[in-house]
């Protein structure tokens, strides 16, 4: 049995290396594709100016990418602290916590950006399913799918409670309803649409299915606590 476990270790390590390499390659390719529009906001962001950086799509995306090394450092620090305390699955828990925040907050920021007619244009609500879907376009659909994708991907890895498809669907839909309501109440010149809720929830579910093999079950719930030390002799 030990011999078989020893033989299975290199393939697992190889798969992890391949997955990390593919993730880095995909990120590098994405940055290469969008480098020109991102660089348009770079001077404003580097100067610390709000206008032209944090109130633009390109600026928010650029700062999200710039903050990736800091997010990785936070994951590393949290994991080391948990491992020192004897917590099992320390790396998974730390990655899930940081991933939920880093992957969701920028998209929420983008959705809450006011439009040109904020505070003056009439509030718009669309409660007819699938009516706005045809006007979103591919970019709008992909963007709505990504809003709560990180939450759907990482939440079941960190918490046992949402580790099921119906619960992730309810979580994504509930968060989306809150966002659409906030857009309406704050008068942001955005359409509060039921289609946004449907697509946002679908994005959370698809992302959750992608991470299903790493979901945390209720049987793993006690792993949050430090492992007990050996009993004193005598």
Q: In this structure, what are the phi and psi dihedrals at residue 2, rounded to the nearest 5 degrees?
A: -65, -35
State the average pLDDT for the chain.
Answer: 83
Distance of alpha carbon 22 from alpha carbon 213, whole angstroms:
18
Residue boundaries of the structural domains of the chain? 15-66, 89-219
Percent residues over pLDDT 70 in the chain: 79
Handedness of CA 134, 138, 139, 140 (dihedral sign): positive
The conformational region for residue 105 under phi > 0 = left, psi -120 to 50 = alpha, else beta, is alpha
- Give, for all 234 residues of the chain, the pLDDT tens digit: 444 544 455 666 676 677 677 777 766 666 665 666 677 778 888 777 878 888 888 888 888 888 989 999 999 999 999 999 998 889 999 999 999 999 999 999 999 999 888 888 889 898 888 888 888 888 888 889 999 999 999 999 999 999 999 999 999 999 999 999 999 999 999 989 999 999 999 999 999 999 998 887 654 554 555 555 555 554
For 181-202, how does the pLDDT look when each residue is reduced to its tens digit (9 = 90+)? 999 999 999 989 999 999 999 9
Q: Which residues have CB under 8 Å from 97's CB, separation 6+?
A: 78, 154, 158
Q: Which of 158, 142, 157 is CA-nearest to residue 202? A: 142
CA 200 distance to own-chain centroid = 12
**What pLDDT sits at residue 224?**
56
Helix 133-147 with 90-111: angle, nearest 10 deg: 150
For 85-128, how does the pLDDT look when each residue is reduced to its tens digit (9 = 90+)? 998 889 999 999 999 999 999 999 999 999 888 888 889 898 88
């Amino acid at each position: 049995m030990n011999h078989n476990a020893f033989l299975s270790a290199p393939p697992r390590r190889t798969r992890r290396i391949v997955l990390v390499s593919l993730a880095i390659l995909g990120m590098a390719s994405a940055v290469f594709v969008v480098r020109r529009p991102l660089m348009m906001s770079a001077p404003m962001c580097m100067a610390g100016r709000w206008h032209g950086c944090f109130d633009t799509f390109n600026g928010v995306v650029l700062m999200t990418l710039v903050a990736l090394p800091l997010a990785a450092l936070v994951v590393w620090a949290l994991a080391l602290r948990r491992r020192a305390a004897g917590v099992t699955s320390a790396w998974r828990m730390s990655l899930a916590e940081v991933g939920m925040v880093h992957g969701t907050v920028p998209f929420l920021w983008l959705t809450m950006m006011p439009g040109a007619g904020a505070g003056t244009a009439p509030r718009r609500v669309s409660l007819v399913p699938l009516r706005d879907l045809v006007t979103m376009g591919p970019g709008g659909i992909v963007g709505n799918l990504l809003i709560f994708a990180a939450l759907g991907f990482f939440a079941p890895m960190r918490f046992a409670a949402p580790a099921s498809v119906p619960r992730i669907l309810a979580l994504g839909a509930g968060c989306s309803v809150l966002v659409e309501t906030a857009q309406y109440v704050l008068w942001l010149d955005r359409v509060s649409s039921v289609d946004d809720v449907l697509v946002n929830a679908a994005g959370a579910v698809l992302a959750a299915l992608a991470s299903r093999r790493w979901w945390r079950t209720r049987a793993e719930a006690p792993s949050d606590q430090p492992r007990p030390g050996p009993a004193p002799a005598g």
